[in-house]
Chains A and B, each alone.
Chain A
Amino acid sequence: MRTILYLLFLALASESAYAQIIFKEPFSQRIANYTISVTLDTDGKTLEGKETLVWTNPSNDLITELQFHLYLNAFKNSESTFMKESGGQLRGIEMTGDGWGWIDITSMRVRGGEDLTSKIEFIHPDDDNEKDQTVVRVQLQKPILPRQTITLDLDFTAKLPTIFARTGYHKNFFMVAQWFPKIGVYEPAGMRYVTKGQWNCHQFHANTEFYADFGVYDVSITLPQNFIVGATGILQTEKPNGDGTKTLAFRAEDVHDFAWTAFPDFTIVEDEWKHVKIKLLLSPGHTQHADRYIHSTKAALSYFDSWVGEYPYPNVTVVDPPLGAFGAGGMEYPTLFTGGSFWGLPEGLKFVELVTVHEFGHQYWYGIVANNEFEEAWLDEGINQYSETRIMDETYGAKTSVIDLAGYKLGDLETARTGYRGMKNPKIAPTFSNAWEYGAGGYGSITYSKAATFLTTLERMIGRPVMDEIMRTYFQRWKFKHPSSRNFIEVVNEIVRKHHGEKFGNNMNWFFDQVLFGTDICDYELTSLQVSRVRGPYGQIEKDTTSSKKPAEYESRLLVSRLGEVRMPVDVLVGFDDGTERRERWDGQARWKEFRYRSSSKAVWAKVDPDHILTIDVNVLNNSMTTDPARLPIWKYTLKFLFWVQNALQYASIF
């Protein structure tokens, strides 16, 4: 009897825990809400799932069809758009063996209504690849009325791929992401650039990430008992099933995706920052990096909290993938992200910190401010990269935040700038592009690096306090929504005007027209610095016997050129041999500008953009000039090179 009562109590307790509400008031519209129960077959690497989707029509339209993402079908065969575009690799990690993955909807039914299973058809809205099966649509017999809610019951089976592109398995490590049939986003007229309500449900491409509506996820996962699980949201219950398996129930509110990981060999490290519980799941051999993960997570939490706003969720889970599963690393999901480390990684190589700060940043730029990553990837990747450079450089040193080892130093902003400036063709595509339409290698360099670099230029141009207000306003205004580039620019224009009036013109559109919508490069050059002695009056001139001898007068001429097409206002600083300096402002519009000075002192050096405001300037070497160039650096590197060559010769003569 006692046992029965205990079990009854346990069941009640479990039920009440399962129903535990996280937020008193919803943060988002909660358009797409999922209840999923899934079983992981750890031997067969398959998922069996039952999904209930409660979806609300957010528009005033009658909706006659639904569209779903079936992301796992990107790994179904070599004919998917993803595989064709990626060549079976992502971020340098190749797909191994025959680790194909796929998902199949075995049943779809409107609750209390029609069976939609037979109506499922694959569509390919982005290209003409008829073999791509990453998007499906179903026609509804009965349209969904404006603001009406529909409940669908789906059954699905999925096979996980081997991990090379974020999701899948490696041995007994599982990173289960983009794993369930996921409804697309219906964009009503007026939202982003839409003039007429339509589905936004793109195929899965090599360079695209995701876009989904916010909602509530109740997910229960059944798997072998020895597995340790981390997931989006909060663990509500964990109960053994008596057959060697257990079921864990998670709930996440106001998120737009749900991912989870399972691995028997995780080491769990728990910590706390203010109201946020940090759970770190470390893979074997990586426990030495626990402090680095925790410290950088806290640094990011603290920075974002004081910079743009409070982290609204009560927890965050950090997953450290094991050896062989690096393809799962460096990826963001709501309240969960994957990092990356390896045994023996020296402290001077701050890759653990870099990835952690970056992926945590996505909790804000993607997780909370949920832009369309297919069409405007720069809004999360670029803004997040900009955030990362600020956090990394301020936490670990501006010149040492990425590498500080054996005399070699590299800061995070430097990395971002080099990522853009080092491109073979920096004009390959505008930053504002569909993610799948960048040229080879352009996606990462443009959406991450160029965007971070031009945002830094903007910050230095308008001042950090103004930039901070922009970021705060943008976050507060667009959290739990789907902003567009236009929305970001509107915030910039509003805040810049508020603080600077007309200093930069009516608005900052000229800036974004060049760096966001354009492809031109920025390059200002200090072309020449010439000094000549001014001759006195000459010709038939009466000798002035009253005045004493005048000191020598010099004319210094300075030529500044605009080599690129991007036009930015720029300062020029000139130094004279008597120690004085003159600062000039040039609007940077013309092709060149000459500055002339007549005085008793000679100009000995000059710098264009002396305060390094134009981080997007692609060449810092031509920004300055001196009449007395320093030769010490040349000696330093000549002697280093001499030593290096001498050693190379000695090693060559070992025989």
Chain B
Amino acid sequence: MTISQAVSTGLRRATSSGRMILLLYAINVLFALVVVLAFRSTLLASVGNTMAIEALVRDFDYTVFSDFWHHFGDRIIPLLTHVVWLAMLYMLFGVFLGGGILATLRERDRPCSLGEFFRNCGNYFARFFRIFLFFAVVTTLVAVVWGLVLSALFSSLTEDAVTERAYVVWGLALFALFCVPILILVLIADYARIDTVVNGRLRMRKAFWDSTKFVFRYLPKTFGLQLAILVIVGLIIAAYWFIEAQIGMTSGITILIMFVVQQATVGAKVWTRVVMFASELELYGGVSKPASVPTREPEIPLPLLPEPEPVSKPMTQKKRPIVRRQRKTSKAQPRTRKKRS
């Protein structure tokens, strides 16, 4: 399985998951609206009936902006604090949604209902939350330690610098270096989740370990895939800035156009995240298949699936007996837990 194969399959899968992407986009909008509506009300209440703000449509007007900020900044700052809290909540909600996204993507061509999606979210939330916590701690530690190492290196490299260029060049290079382990940790977290869904993992330590091994065993592919997706994200952002520079928000019609462009950008980024999951899922299945031919039963049953649709594809049909069998053997689950405890 090559990166391009994984990406192209991922693209196909993501594209066929339009309803789920729409749902994820809608969730993003709903979360944002919590604070944005408050922001709008604050703006309206603050500026009242002044004509001064009319200058802000045609162009940015620093005098009006700075007077506004000076007099009403105290009203806006709490909203920005709320954005931080909201982002943390959204991060947790993202953990919750992860199970639904992966399970839906895993089902390939079988359409997934809203209820089923959220059932899968619920099924995996506890395990995904443990993965999240673990990686949050590890990432923080790595960021601190690696950050200290790199800042010491930065100081040493720029000690004899005679121009700011050295600071800029080394700063950017070391920042890129700083990002590498963080990106790898993100990768490991992604594959731990995939591993959990595909192999029905219950023990997260095993999932961490296997996903770590997987990421490093196929590092060029896993990291390459991630970089490819990052390039796509970069292109989306660049396209937005280009369009923004060309059109601007200087009249009613351009504000409307830019609103559409902005939402398309957000939607495209949601789509890219789904493409990434789908591609990673594909890569995981593609490259790990020979090595991970199940020699044992999954640790826990795969998510409960509804009764087969009459039009089910052969691949889904092949899996179904396993699911049923797992249901029967689900008594083993308490035993496993007991063993763990």
Contact = CB atoms under 8 A, between A and B. Distances in A.
B249 A636 contact: yes
B315 interface: no
Given A620-B63, A655-B94, A637 B43 contact: yes
A632 B67 contact: no
B168 interface: yes
Nearest to B163: A285
A629 B49 contact: yes
B189 interface: yes
Interface stretch (B50-58, B109-117, B118-126): B50-58
B266 interface: yes
A349 to B, nearest CB: 13
Interface string B258-284: 110011011001100100000000000
Interface in B171-207: 186, 189
B243 to A, nearest CB: 12
B196 to A, nearest CB: 15
A125 B96 CA distance: 71
A113 to B, nearest CB: 50
Interface stretch (B27-35, B212-220, B320-328, B333-341): B27-35
Contacts of A422: 66, 70
A535 B68 CA distance: 40
Contact of B66 (A421, A627, A636): A421
A323 B31 CA distance: 46
Nearest to A647: B266
A284 B161 CA distance: 10
Nearest to A624: B51
Interface string B123-141: 0000000001001100100
A292 to B, nearest CB: 16
A323 B162 contact: yes
Nearest to A631: B44
B88 interface: yes
B163 A634 contact: no
A407 B60 contact: yes
Interface string B215-252: 00000000000000000000000000000110011011
B146 interface: no
A58 B50 CA distance: 59
Nearest to B53: A633
A265 B161 CA distance: 13
Given A646-B28, A646-B266, A649-B90, A626 B252 contact: no
B211 to A, nearest CB: 14
A620 B52 contact: yes
A408 B83 contact: no
A632 B57 contact: yes
Contacts of A640: 249
Interface string A633-655: 11111111111011111111111
B51 A607 contact: yes
B64 interface: yes
Contacts of B51: 605, 607, 624-626, 629-630
B302 interface: no
B62 A641 contact: no
A556 to B, nearest CB: 14
B244 to A, nearest CB: 8
User: Which range holds the interface residue count of chain B?
Assistant: 35 or more
Contact of B67 (A621, A637, A649, A653): A621
Contacts of A629: 47-51
A452 to B, nearest CB: 14
A285 B57 contact: no
A529 B31 CA distance: 39
B165 A344 contact: yes
A417 interface: yes
A412 to B, nearest CB: 11
B164 interface: yes
A655 B95 contact: yes
Contact of B270 (A417, A623, A650): A650
A640 B263 CA distance: 11
Contact of B87 (A286, A417, A649): A649
A414 interface: yes
Given A285-B162, A655-B136, A624 B50 contact: yes
A343 B163 contact: yes
Nearest to A411: B62
A286 B49 contact: no
A625 B50 CA distance: 5
Nearest to B31: A649
A646 B163 contact: no
Nearest to B54: A630
A320 B99 CA distance: 59
B54 A414 contact: no
A648 B31 CA distance: 11
A639 B259 contact: yes
A621 B36 contact: no
B61 interface: yes
25 contacts: A343-B163, A343-B165, A344-B168, A407-B244, A408-B60, A414-B62, A417-B63, A421-B67, A422-B66, A607-B51, A618-B67, A620-B63, A620-B67, A621-B53, A625-B50, A629-B50, A630-B51, A632-B57, A632-B255, A633-B56, A638-B39, A648-B83, A650-B269, A655-B94, A655-B135
Interface of B: 28-29, 31-33, 35-36, 39-40, 43-44, 47-54, 56-57, 59-64, 66-68, 70-71, 83, 86-88, 90-91, 93-95, 132, 135-136, 139, 161-165, 167-168, 186, 189, 244-245, 248-249, 251-252, 255, 258-259, 262-263, 265-266, 269-270, 273
Interface of A: 265, 283-286, 322-323, 342-344, 399, 407-411, 414, 417-418, 421-422, 529, 605, 607, 618-627, 629-630, 632-643, 645-655
Q: Give 9 closest A-B pairs by Cβ, nearest first.
A: A285-B163, A653-B94, A652-B87, A624-B51, A343-B164, A643-B262, A645-B32, A633-B56, A342-B164
